[in-house]
Structure formats: structure tokens, C-alpha cells
């Protein structure tokens, strides 16, 4: 039996009020849909926030979730942008093991990924990289042999390409 599970990217425009996040996450939980990443930020109008949710599951269930989300009082709009032409980015900050003798090896690799070194310790280098999810995975794979001491990743944010706004208004 073939699984219909795949990653979906959902963008919501919501009222910037306490409790909205829990109500949104409960809709996913009730349907047994796990949230892989969630990013929330204030919109240009401070009365609203944008939520970008990445979740893995069945499209039919996701369609029901989006229908339920759009019925919540504090949700202005919820839409699945999985198959829409969007600009998507994540940010990763990695701290890798790196004694001074190895820095000459590491600096060019950070540049290949268009990264920026943000801290150098006695035996570590910390750098940031942004880009699509695939780049974040490639960074992790490339630097794993050096020893990743710590890693933080934001989760996906997106914006629709062209003149149309992602929120639809």
C-alpha cells in the first residue's frame, strides 16, 4: 500500500493575540498531524502575525485541517503553498569543532555555502547559513565529519513570487 505522506508548507495570517498559536496547533494535533517546524513573526501591520508551518502527512487530512483553520476566529487565511512557486528560506547556525590548524580547511567550505562566520572560539567555529532546506541538509552533511558540536535551525519561511501577496490581501 502506497503512503500519501509528504511534506507540506502552510502559511497562515492570524491575529496577533495570545492563545492563537495553541488553537492552531490543536487543530493539527486533533487530526494526528505532526508539525515538523513552525515559524511565527509579526506582519508589517502589528495587529497580525504570519505562521509558516511545515508538516508531514496525508493531503486529504491536510485539506481538512486547512478548512478547520480557516474557520477559527483569529485565522484570517490559511493556505497550503506546497505546489506554489514561492521563495523559501531557512537559517542554520552551526558550531563545529575546529582547532586553529584546521581553520584553513573550514573557511573555504563556509564560503561555498555563502555562510558567515559569527564566532571563533579556541577549538570551535560558529557560522550561519541561509537558503532552501536542501542547502541546510547539504551543510549538515558536509560539516558532520568535522564534528558538529551544536546546531540550531529556524524552520522554513516562505513568500509567494511576483506581485501577489502571500496573505492574499
Q: What are the mean pLDDT values of the chain's consecutive 10-residue runs (169 residues total)?
A: 76 95 94 90 92 91 93 94 90 94 92 96 96 93 95 90 77
DSSP code for 63: H
Q: What is the pLDDT of residue 31?
A: 87
Q: Where are the domains of the chain?
A: 5-83, 87-157
Domains 5-83 and 87-157 are alike in CATH topology? yes
DSSP code for 84: S
Domain 5-83: CATH superfamily is ACT domain (3.30.70.260)
Which residue do the cell numbers 504570519 mark?
50
Q: What is the pLDDT of residue 169?
A: 54
CATH classification of 87-157 is 3.30.70.1150, yes or no?
A: yes
Q: How many other CB atoms are there within 10 angstroms of residue 68's CB atom?
A: 17
Q: What is the pLDDT of residue 1?
A: 45
Secondary structure element (H or E) that encloses residue 30, with its range: helix 20-30
Global confidence as pTM: 0.82
Q: What is the pLDDT of residue 3?
A: 60
Amino acid at each position: 500500500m502506497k503512503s500519501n505522506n509528504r511534506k507540506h508548507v502552510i502559511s497562515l495570517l492570524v491575529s496577533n493575540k495570545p492563545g492563537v498559536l495553541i488553537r492552531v496547533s490543536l487543530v493539527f494535533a486533533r487530526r494526528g498531524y505532526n508539525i515538523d517546524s513552525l515559524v511565527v513573526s509579526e506582519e508589517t501591520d502589528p495587529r497580525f502575525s504570519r505562521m509558516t508551518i511545515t508538516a508531514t502527512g496525508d493531503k486529504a487530512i491536510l485539506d481538512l485541517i486547512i478548512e478547520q483553520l480557516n474557520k477559527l476566529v483569529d485565522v484570517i487565511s490559511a493556505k497550503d503553498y506546497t505546489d506554489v512557486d514561492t521563495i523559501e528560506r531557512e537559517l542554520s547556525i552551526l558550531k563545529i569543532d575546529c582547532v586553529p590548524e584546521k581553520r584553513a580547511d573550514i573557511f573555504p567550505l563556509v564560503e561555498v555555502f555563502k555562510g558567515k562566520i559569527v564566532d571563533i572560539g579556541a577549538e570551535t567555529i560558529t557560522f550561519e547559513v541561509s537558503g532552501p532546506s536542501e542547502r541546510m541538509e547539504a551543510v549538515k552533511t558536509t560539516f558532520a565529519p568535522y564534528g558538529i558540536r551544536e546546531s540550531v535551525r529556524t524552520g522554513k519561511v516562505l513568500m509567494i513570487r511576483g506581485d501577489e501577496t502571500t496573505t492574499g490581501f
